[in-house]
Amino acid sequence: PEVAGKFFNALKNSYTFFAGYAGEWTPAESPPASERPLVDRWLRSRLDTTVDTVTQAWSRYDVTAGVRAIMDFVIDDVSQWYVRVNRARFWAPDSTADPAALATLHEALTTLVRLLAPAAPFVTDWMHRALTGTSVHLSGFPVPQGQVAPDLEAAMDAVRRLASLARSAREERNIRVRQPLG
């Protein structure tokens, strides 16, 4: 129950974050994937990797492995990394949020609820209707889009590891995260 609660909270909070900044944005305003920043291409690569992992797991009737892959992606990649690192792109104080960031998060959330629909039909249908206006159960199951970039994923893993080590060093020395270093 605690793990499921953490996952559903992360999913809901990611959607709420998106909805709060999307405003009048529509997917038609999305820039091409090749013109988006590296962090957007990284998330799309991780999304494609997750789609492939879930598809393989579920084709072996291993629902647990499929759901775990979705949960890891939502919590680790979307909620705790992509949204945190890109807050400034969404917050645009005197203008609208970055269309590339909105498009990337919208694609990730839409694909995620389609992946999760067989395991959580009601929550995913509500979220899919909020994102697209249609039922998730009338949409096709996601297929990889050929966006996998292993080098980009490896580079981002290194960056994330360094950020984690820096945070651990701050915790050891009792230096708050928001306190600047000399």
In this prediction the pTM is 0.89
Say if CB 73 and CB 46 are below 8 A apart: yes
Residue 52 burial (10 A CB sphere; 0-12, 13-18, 19+): middle
DSSP state of 111: H
At 95, the pLDDT band (50, 70, 90 cuts) reads: confident
Alpha-carbon gap, residue 74 to 89, rounded angstroms: 19
What pLDDT, on a 0 to 100 scale, did the predictor assign at position 13? 95
What pLDDT, on a 0 to 100 scale, did the predictor assign at position 24? 86
What pLDDT, on a 0 to 100 scale, did the predictor assign at position 96? 80
CA atoms within a 13 Å half-sphere pointing along the CA-CB vector of 70: 30
The dihedral region occupied by 133, where left means phi > 0, alpha psi between -120 and 50, and beta the remainder, is: left
Which range (27-41, 52-66, 105-119) has the least confidence? 27-41
> In the chain, what percentage of residues exceed pLDDT 70?
97
Q: In which element (H, E) is residue 11 found?
A: helix 2-22
Q: What is the pLDDT of residues 127-181, one digit of tens each?
A: 999 999 999 999 999 999 888 999 989 999 899 898 888 888 888 888 887 777 7
Q: What is the pLDDT of residues 12-21, one digit of tens each?
A: 999 999 999 9
What pLDDT, on a 0 to 100 scale, did the predictor assign at position 108? 97
Sign of the alpha-carbon dihedral angle for 119, 60, 69, 108: negative
What pLDDT, on a 0 to 100 scale, did the predictor assign at position 55? 96
Alpha-carbon gap, residue 182 to 180, rounded angstroms: 7
User: What tokens appear for 138 in the block?
Assistant: 């009338």
What pLDDT, on a 0 to 100 scale, did the predictor assign at position 163? 86
